[in-house]
């Protein structure tokens, strides 16, 4: 299934029902007396976060969502039925914008959270509301109000504790598949990962965290090269960044600077997140080559792992857990 992280559609609240002009037949009452009921309220359009949805793909081809209009008022002071609400299921992490003004309307981050995006119109008042001692037989009702109408742009940002950041073929998908039950596509050519993948990493007896495999970044990603700007938005939601670099390349500091620059160009605040530097695929080099590796990368400590050989994965996981513990304390 293709990953969809942005959609645009229109929402229309239901119009209110018309108020009723009616007169009952009753002796000694002018025209029988007014008894027109009010129209019902129109239904509203509501976004609702559902736990079993992970993409916006269901809304890709939907152009308009409409709520039900309110029922008309009737005689005998019978009020019209209120229109039914239209609920639109969306995944957790959905940001809602007005498509025309760009205004952020809401940020949906919790399961079952709801956001009214188009209110229904108010029903018209029936003529029974306007009877007075001097106007005993009003022959008019107020018109109903239309429902709200707007265009929305929904943007999905994945919610994860840890984001894997690296160039293509750094081993991010392999790492995620080894430490979690996720099954991302893996092959020996660049850009195997075309959509973000999530995996739950368990450690200890009952603890776990969510890791996101962000598709490989390249120079110019922040400006949209290789769809990098769309991938980088998912990094904004993570709490810890794990920089993964292939050990065979050798030019670690240059790669690290490229990744830092792309993050800073997209959002300078990303550089303030806790980060862990990891060299991957150490099973492909000899012990002598490992001994020749630098002590630090750009002045920062790093870990060496092999996802295939499952080498040093536990120390990496527990280092991530220590960073996450600081958020909860």
pLDDT in tens, 34-78: 889 999 999 999 999 998 887 788 898 889 999 999 999 998 889
The residue from 156, 184, 218 where one domain ends is: 156
Residues 182 and 66 placed together within one structural domain of the fold:
no
79 and 187 co-located in one domain: no
Q: Is the pLDDT of residue 296 over 80?
A: yes
Under 8 Å between Cβ of 164 and 242: yes
CATH number at 120 reads: 2.70.210.12
In a domain, 210, yes or no: yes
pLDDT tens for each residue of 131-187: 888 888 898 999 999 999 999 999 887 777 898 888 888 888 889 888 887 665 544
Residue 329 pLDDT: 53
Both 145 and 167 in a single domain?
no
My answer on whether 147 and 287 are in the same domain is no
Is residue 169 domain-shared with residue 122, that is, in the same domain?
no
Same domain, 145 and 169: no
Domain assignment present for residue 1? The answer is: no
Write the CATH number for 256.
Answer: 3.40.50.300
Q: Is residue 16 part of a domain?
A: yes
Which of 94, 127, 156 delimits the end of a domain? 156
Looking at residue 189, its pLDDT comes to 40
For residues 205-231, average pLDDT: 61
Distance between CA atoms of residues 75 and 1, nearest Å: 53
Q: Enter the tokens of residue 291.
A: 């001994």
245 occurs within a structural domain? yes
302 and 196 belong to one structural domain: yes
Lookup result for tokens 């990891």:
278
Q: How far apart are CA 4 and CA 204, in angstroms?
A: 34
Cα torsion for 52, 55, 59, 65, to the nearest 10°?
50
Q: Are 22 and 111 contained in the same domain?
A: yes
What residues are paired with 78 via a beta bridge? 74
89 pLDDT more than 90: yes
Is 168 within the bounds of a domain? yes
Residues 178 and 126 in one domain: no
pLDDT for 20 equals: 94
What pLDDT is recorded for position 217?
59
At residue 223 the predicted structure's pLDDT band, cuts being 50, 70 and 90, is: very low
pLDDT score, position 230:
60
Q: How confident is the model at residue 191 (pLDDT cuts 50, 70, 90)?
A: very low
Asked whether the beta carbons of 304 and 281 are under 8 A apart, the reply is no
Residue 28 inside a domain? The answer is yes
Query: Domain check: are 253 and 205 in the same one?
Result: yes
Which segment of 33-47, 202-216, 223-237 scores lowest on mean pLDDT?
Answer: 223-237
Q: In this structure, are residues 69 and 39 in contact, taking their beta carbons and an 8 Å threshold? A: no
The DSSP result for 192-234, as a single string, is: ---S-EEEEEEETTTEEEEEEEPPPP-TTGGGTGGGHHHHHGG
Q: Do residue 253 and residue 300 come from a single domain?
A: yes
Range of the domain at 224: 162-328
Query: Strand 207-213 vs strand 162-165: parallel, antiparallel, or unpaired?
Result: parallel
Domain count, the chain: 2
First to last CA, the chain: 38
Q: What is the pLDDT of residue 106?
A: 95
Domain boundary among 106, 130, 156: 156
Is 142 found in the same domain as 205? no
In a domain, 44, yes or no: yes
Nearest partner of 73 among 120, 41, 33, judged by Cα: 41
pLDDT of residue 225: 41
């Amino acid at each position: 299934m293709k990953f969809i992280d942005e959609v645009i559609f229109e929402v229309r609240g239901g119009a209110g029902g018309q108020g009723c002009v009616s007169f009952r037949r009753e002796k000694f009452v002018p025209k029988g007396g007014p008894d027109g009921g009010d129209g019902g309220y129109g239904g509203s359009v509501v976004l609702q976060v559902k736990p079993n949805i992970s993409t916006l793909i269901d809304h890709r081809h939907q152009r308009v969502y409409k709520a039900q209009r309110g029922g008309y008022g009737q005689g005998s002071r019978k009020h019209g039925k209120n229109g039914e609400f239209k609920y639109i299921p969306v995944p957790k992490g959905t940001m809602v914008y007005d498509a025309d003004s760009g205004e952020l309307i809401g940020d949906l981050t919790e399961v079952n959270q709801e956001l009214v995006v188009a209110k229904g119109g108010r029903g018209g008042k029936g003529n029974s509301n306007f009877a007075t001692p001097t106007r005993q037989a009003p022959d008019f009702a107020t018109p109903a109000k239309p429902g709200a109408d707007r265009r929305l742009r929904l943007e999905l940002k994945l919610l994860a504790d840890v984001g894997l950041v690296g160039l293509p073929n750094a081993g991010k998908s392999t790492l995620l598949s080894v430490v979690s039950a996720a099954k991302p596509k893996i092959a020996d050519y660049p850009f195997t990962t075309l959509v973000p993948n999530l995996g739950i990493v368990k450690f200890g007896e009952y603890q776990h965290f969510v890791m996101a495999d962000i598709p490989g970044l390249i120079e110019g990603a922040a400006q949209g090269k290789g769809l990098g700007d769309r991938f980088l938005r998912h990094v904004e939601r993570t709490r810890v960044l794990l920089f993964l670099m292939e050990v065979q390349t050798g030019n670690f500091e240059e790669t690290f600077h490229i990744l830092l620059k792309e993050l800073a160009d997209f959002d300078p605040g990303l550089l303030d997140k806790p980060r862990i530097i990891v060299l991957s695929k150490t099973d492909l080099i000899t012990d002598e080559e490992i001994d020749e590796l630098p002590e630090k990368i750009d002045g920062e400590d790093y870990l060496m792992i092999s996802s295939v050989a499952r080498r040093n994965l536990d120390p990496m996981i527990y280092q991530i857990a220590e960073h996450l513990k600081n958020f909860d304390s």
